[in-house]
């Protein structure tokens, strides 16, 4: 009986030792570690990164920057039992400030040190001693996504908070971003940047990769976790914790950036053998109330902003509808293989709007399309905002349409005309739109089903013709709208959806005709 206190003490000590061992064995890096850094940064004044580039790298042209190649035989993790490889981008051009890249293992975090030996500099004439103190501009991920044993680049994280991801059989097109601030506002856009990354070393059987990122800008900081799942359709699960340093005019969550130069809805102003040239041709939205909306993209003459107010959106994305090579005819850039990107929010995002920004461009090298979610209310400086979502990169747009709802196959714009008694078509001063709708359920309808269109136009125009006819080629229906404008120097909004009696058959076609001046 006298030994009971000692026994209890020994048991307590044993339990403490086991707890200590257990705690050590389950150590793990997490988004909270990055969030602590982001919160600490948000409480301080912003310090702009300083460029450390020699002039030969800072002033180089894009063609020169492309000469700097990573030596594939030095790929990170090449000697490990994992299908993933890491390669790095060198600083140069406007990628003039280094980013810190760390590797996270089961027991430690280790900075990946820069070495010029990682790179082949081509014929760039430079001082070898001058590059010793430089760093990485970003990184890329390689994975055998198309053929076993052959590494393909599937992820690129380079510049500001941009990243690009592809799946099997895809080529790089549109980009995603961590955060957008004041896009299209007169005050000018602020571009937050990922200043530091932590990449988890994957286990041998892992077919996913975890990346953490610390975001920083004059008015915001953030912590991000990306779980990258490569496949036929690659998926990125995103968790973000964002902190404002100061007030912002507009905050863009899950931003997507793309390019639209011309297409059937806006033909090329000059003769071009390519019928279409774009990374995406429309914005798709599934609103919180379940409505599906399709907004064809424009290359306007002036900056254009469209907003779609919705509470708790179910999804939105920039899509590349139409995969036939004949729609593009480009053997070099393969626009037919560029992925669509679909954002699926996790949890309730509350009140806000999906916003589309269209910027004029004269060539395909400029990303002139931006789409994102912007919340109605923003918290006070320093308060945490949490957003979780996934981004799907796919060429199978059929899975992104509402089940049972027909979708817009194409939008074609033309000079409006009427057929005379002698069968000659005579322009009548209108603008015509030909919109083809198709879908699995719609294809089951009899050709004589009384399908009609509910169509509307803004105050700047009137609808002269609204007709629908069966399309035996697509087993869908074709809508023809002829509209007359009051002032061609003003934008004009139009909407249309197909119905059969009181039953809606299709998504809503929402189009903005740009001002012609």
pTM score, two decimals? 0.92
Q: Where are the domains of the chain?
A: 31-400, 407-513
Q: What is the rounded distance in angstroms from the CA atom of residue 353 to the CA atom of residue 4? A: 67
* Residue 127 neighbours by CB distance under 10 Å: 9
**Average pLDDT rounded to a whole number, residues 260-285:** 96
Q: What single string gives the DSSP state of each residue in 27-50?
A: ----HHHHHHHHHHHHTS------
For residue 80, pLDDT over 50 is answered with yes
Query: What is the pLDDT, as a whole number, of residue 422?
Result: 84
Tell me what percent of the residues of the chain surpass a pLDDT of 70: 95
Q: Which secondary-structure segment (H or E) carries 212?
A: strand 209-217
Q: How far is CA 483 from CA 100, 299, 410, 437, 501, in A?
A: 55, 20, 18, 19, 24
The pLDDT score that the predictor gives to residue 38 is 97
- Under 8 Å between Cβ of 238 and 389: yes
pLDDT for 326: 97
Give residue 2's pLDDT: 46
**Given a cut of 60, is residue 224 above it in pLDDT?**
yes
> 31-400 belongs to which CATH class?
mainly beta
Report the pLDDT value the prediction gives residue 262, as an integer from 0 to 100: 97
pLDDT, average across residues 230-235: 97
Give residue 8's pLDDT: 47
d(CA 282, CA 362): 19
- pLDDT value at 16 more than 70: no
Dump pLDDT digits (tens) for 490-501. Answer: 999 999 999 999
pLDDT at residue 13 tops 70: no
Rounded Cα gap, residues 496 and 108, in angstroms: 57
Distance of CA 184 to the CA centre of its chain: 17
Q: Is the pLDDT of residue 110 over 70?
A: yes
What number of CA atoms fall less than 13 Å from residue 454's CA on the CB side? 12
Per-residue HEC secondary structure of 157-209 comes to EECCCEEEECCCCCCCCCEEECEEECCCCCCCCECCEEEEEEEECCCCCCCCE
Residues with Cβ within 8 Å of 214's Cβ and at least 6 positions away in sequence, in order, are 34, 37, 38, 41, 194, 195, 196, 197, 221, 222, 223, 224
Comparing CA positions, the residue from 472, 492, 342 lying closest to residue 413 is 492
Q: Is 397 helix (H, G, I), strand (E, B) or coil?
A: helix
Q: How confident is the model over 359-402, as pLDDT tens digits?
A: 999 999 999 999 999 999 998 888 999 999 999 999 999 889 87
Q: How do the residues of the chain divide into helix, strand and coil, expressed in percent and rounded to 5?
A: 15, 45, 40
CATH architecture of 407-513: Sandwich (2.60)
The per-residue pLDDT for 21 is 43
pLDDT exceeds cutoff 60 at 10: no
pLDDT in tens, 441-466: 999 999 999 999 999 999 999 999 99
Q: How confident is the model at residue 152 (pLDDT cuts 50, 70, 90)?
A: very high
- In sequence order, what are the beta bridge partners of 142? 85, 153
Single out the residue of 213, 220, 258 nearest to residue 238, CA to CA.
213
Q: How far is CA 346 from CA 240, 254, 353, 372, 495, in A?
A: 12, 12, 16, 15, 29
Given a contact cutoff of 8 angstroms between Cβ atoms, the answer to whether 166 and 395 are in contact is no
From the list 123, 116, 125, 118, the residue with the least C-alpha distance to 140 is 118
């Amino acid at each position: 009986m006298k030994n009971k206190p000692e026994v209890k003490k020994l048991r307590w000590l044993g339990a403490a030792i086991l707890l200590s061992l257990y705690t050590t064995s389950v150590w793990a890096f997490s988004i909270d570690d990055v969030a602590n850094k982001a919160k600490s940064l948000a409480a301080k004044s912003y310090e702009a990164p300083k460029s450390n580039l020699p002039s030969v790298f800072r002033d180089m042209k894009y063609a020169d920057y492309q000469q700097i190649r990573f030596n594939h035989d030095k790929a990170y993790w090449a000697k490990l039992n994992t299908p993933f490889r890491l390669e790095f981008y060198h600083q140069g051009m406007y990628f003039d400030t280094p980013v810190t890249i760390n590797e996270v293992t089961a027991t430690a975090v280790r900075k990946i040190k820069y070495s010029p030996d990682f790179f082949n500099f081509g014929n760039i004439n430079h001082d070898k001693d001058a590059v010793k103190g430089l760093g990485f501009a970003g990184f890329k991920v390689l994975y055998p996504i198309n053929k076993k044993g052959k590494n393909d680049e599937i992820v690129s994280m380079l510049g500001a908070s941009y990243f690009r991801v592809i799946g099997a059989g895809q080529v790089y097109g549109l980009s995603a971003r961590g955060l957008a601030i004041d896009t299209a506002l007169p005050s000018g856009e602020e571009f937050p940047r990922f200043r530091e990354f932590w990449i988890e070393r994957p286990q041998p059987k892992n077919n996913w990769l975890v990346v953490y990122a610390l975001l920083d800008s004059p008015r915001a900081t953030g912590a991000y976790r990306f779980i990258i799942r490569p496949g036929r359709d690659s998926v990125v699960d995103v968790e973000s914790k964002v902190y404002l340093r100061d007030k912002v005019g507009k905050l863009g969550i899950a931003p997507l950036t793309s390019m639209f130069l011309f297409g059937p809805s806006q033909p090329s102003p000059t003769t071009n053998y390519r019928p279409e040239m774009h990374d995406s041709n429309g914005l798709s939205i599934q609103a919180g109330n379940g409505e599906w909306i399709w907004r064809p993209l424009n290359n306007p003459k002036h900056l254009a902003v469209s907003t779609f107010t919705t509470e708790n959106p179910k999804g939105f994305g920039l899509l590349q509808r139409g995969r036939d090579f004949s729609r593009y005819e480009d053997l070099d850039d393969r626009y037919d293989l560029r992925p669509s990107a679909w954002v699926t929010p996790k949890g309730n995002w509350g009140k806000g709007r999906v916003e589309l920004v269209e910027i004029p461009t004269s060539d395909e090298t400029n990303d002139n399309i931006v789409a994102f979610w912007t919340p109605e209310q923003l918290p006070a400086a320093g308060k945490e905002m949490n957003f979780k979502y996934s981004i799907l990169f796919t060429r199978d747009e059929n899975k992104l349409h509402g089940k049972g709802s027909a979708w817009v196959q194409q939008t074609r714009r033309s000079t409006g005309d009427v057929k005379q008694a002698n069968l000659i078509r005579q322009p009548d001063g209108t603008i015509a739109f030909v919109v083809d709708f198709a879908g699995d359920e719609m294809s089951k309808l009899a050709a004589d089903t009384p399908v009609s269109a509910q169509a509307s136009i803004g105050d700047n125009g009137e609808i002269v013709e609204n007709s629908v006819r069966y399309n035996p080629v697509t087993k869908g229906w074709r809508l023809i709208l002829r509209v007359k404008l009051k002032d061609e120097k003003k934008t004009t909004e139009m909407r249309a959806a197909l119905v059969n009696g009181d039953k809606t058959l299709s998504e809503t076609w929402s189009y903005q005709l740009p001002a012609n001046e």
